[in-house]
Amino acid sequence: MTNKIYDVVIIGGGIIGASIAYYTAKTGLSVALLEANTVASGTSSKCDGNVLLIDKEPGFDSRMAIKSQSLIKELSTTLDMEFEFRHPGSIFLCANEDELEQGYQWVDQHNKENGDNKFFKKLNKEDLKNDSKYFSDHLRGGIECTNDSTINPYMLAFSLINQAKKYDFTLFEKTPVTKIDRLQDEGFKVISNDLEYKARKVINAAGIYAPQIGKLLEIDIPIVPRKGHILVSSRSELLGSRKIQEFGYLMTKFGKEREATKEMNDYGVALVHEATQSQNFLIGSSREFVGYDTRVNHKVIKLMAERAIEYFPAMKDMNFIRSYAGLRPWTPDNLPIISETKVSGFYIAAGHEGDGIGLSAITGLWMSQIMTGKLEDDISPLSINRFEEASR
């Protein structure tokens, strides 16, 4: 039992909890982070490291992504531990006329908001050929986004925690939260392993487990695990320098129909190619609602490999060294929940689905501003109340 009363206790030490810890401790508040296992042992170490604008809906979603991208760039020069930040930009590949038309519309929508050619540009077949000789001949064209970057998620989480420790911050690992009591006047008693941690404010950053933490205070949180697989190649010649995705990724992410075989659609398989700093590349992706099971399903891996070969025929001769699966914290409208709850002093920062790495910095900054009562932006689209309003 510690007698200290923390200004803020964060539950969950993934990329989101780590970012909140850094930004909040930096304001001068006293912060503790309680993590059931070890830092980044959950989804944040079973993912890619894309920091993307290209796959964000024009409007609030994309404005949030742009802010987070510039914060991550800033972190790459201010945090002591480096985290493999690079800024290669990204492209979407369009395999047929329909995708090309939709892709070009996507560019028009983004350009309308941000200014012509500021971040987005249309690519034709020849542009693609100039970009990589490895692209399949059947591709019709694509789109590019120059603002997209990449990091190593595991290293960013550790780097943020390392920096938070320079302020009034304490990390408690192997500390699963099992109970939360409200104190009589103000604040909470957070309980784990028979130990108590007192806090004026508590933030639930438990990713796919945020609903279980919410239940401790009778708060319903509509987050569901959405499984995704990744394949890792051996070190090899790079097939492309930028972040590369098929346009159909947007359809699988937002749960829309697209032209692909039934099996590809059933498992939400869409090509994602990410070159890492160590010259391996990661191949994704899949999307399924199959509970909390993180075991690799080899049927899905096979489909992902087939999909990758469709876009990069040369990949059929390449070696893959491992595969893994993680669980994205999905919400019904594909936006995270960053908000206070019906319990005053109890907050949520979770539900980032496939965007939590890229959106980690803005989530941490906004939460720190909420903690100090100095929130600078209108983030009402991220309120938990939106789900109640939608069900009325």
Ligand X SMILES: Cc1cc2nc3c(=O)[nH]c(=O)nc-3n(C[C@H](O)[C@H](O)[C@H](O)COP(=O)(O)OP(=O)(O)OC[C@H]3O[C@@H](n4cnc5c(N)ncnc54)[C@H](O)[C@@H]3O)c2cc1C
Among 10, 15, 25, 32, binds ligand X (CB under 6 A): 15
Beta pairing partners, 230:
324
DSSP calls for 305-368: HHHHHHH-GGGGG--EEEEEEEEEEE-TTS--EEEE-SSTTEEEEE--GGGTTTTHHHHHHHHH
**Residues from 33 through 62 that contact ligand X (CB under 6 A):** 34-37, 41-44, 46-50
Interacting stretch for ligand X, rule CB under 6 A, among 59-67, 90-98, 100-108, 327-335?
Answer: 327-335
x/- mask, ligand X, residues 63-102, rule CB under 6 A, reads ----------------------------------------
Beta pairing partners, 34:
11, 172
115 binds ligand X (CB under 6 A): no
305 binds ligand X (CB under 6 A): no
- The alpha-helical segments, DSSP class H, found in 146-261 are 153-164, 210-215, 248-253
Nearer to ligand X, 43 or 233 (CB): 43
Instruction: Give the shortest CB-218-to-ligand X separation in angstroms.
Output: 16
Nearer to ligand X, 335 or 350 (CB): 350
Interacting stretch for ligand X, rule CB under 6 A, among 1-9, 29-37, 83-91, 137-145?
Answer: 29-37
**Residues from 137 through 176 that contact ligand X (CB under 6 A):** 176
Nearer to ligand X, 142 or 228 (CB): 228
Nearest alpha carbon to residue 287 among 305, 308, 311, 271: 271
323 binds ligand X (CB under 6 A): no
291 binds ligand X (CB under 6 A): no
- Report CA torsion sign: 387, 356, 363, 219: positive
- The alpha-helical segments, DSSP class H, found in 224-323 are 248-253, 262-266, 298-311
334 binds ligand X (CB under 6 A): no
Distance separating alpha carbons of residues 77 and 93, to the nearest angstrom = 32
Instruction: Give the shortest CB-29-to-ligand X separation in angstroms.
Output: 20
Is there a contact between 270 and 307 (Cβ–Cβ < 8 Å)? yes
Nearest alpha carbon to residue 227 among 301, 291, 308: 291
Interacting stretch for ligand X, rule CB under 6 A, among 90-98, 128-136, 207-215, 379-387?
Answer: 207-215
**Residues from 173 through 192 that contact ligand X (CB under 6 A):** 176-177
**Residues from 225 through 254 that contact ligand X (CB under 6 A):** 228, 230
Interacting stretch for ligand X, rule CB under 6 A, among 9-17, 77-85, 371-379, 381-389?
Answer: 9-17
Orientation of helix 60-78 relative to helix 97-114, angle to 10°: 70
Instruction: Give the shortest CB-104-to-ligand X separation in angstroms.
Output: 24
Instruction: Give the shortest CB-13-to-ligand X separation in angstroms.
Output: 5
Distance separating alpha carbons of residues 185 and 195, to the nearest angstrom = 21
Instruction: Give the shortest CB-253-to-ligand X separation in angstroms.
Output: 11
Is there a contact between 14 and 44 (Cβ–Cβ < 8 Å)? yes
Distance separating alpha carbons of residues 163 and 270, to the nearest angstrom = 36
φ, ψ at 286 (rounded to 5°): -140, 160
Interacting stretch for ligand X, rule CB under 6 A, among 93-101, 111-119, 304-312, 323-331?
Answer: 323-331
Cα-based distances in Å from 308 to 51, 283, 296: 21, 7, 18
**Residues from 267 through 286 that contact ligand X (CB under 6 A):** 284
Nearer to ligand X, 114 or 178 (CB): 178
11 binds ligand X (CB under 6 A): yes
Cα-based distances in Å from 266 to 34, 243, 252, 287: 37, 25, 10, 9
Instruction: Give the shortest CB-98-to-ligand X separation in angstroms.
Output: 26
**Which residues would be at the binding site for ligand X (CB under 6 A)?**
11-17, 34-37, 41-44, 46-50, 176-177, 205-209, 213, 228, 230, 284, 326-329, 350, 352-358
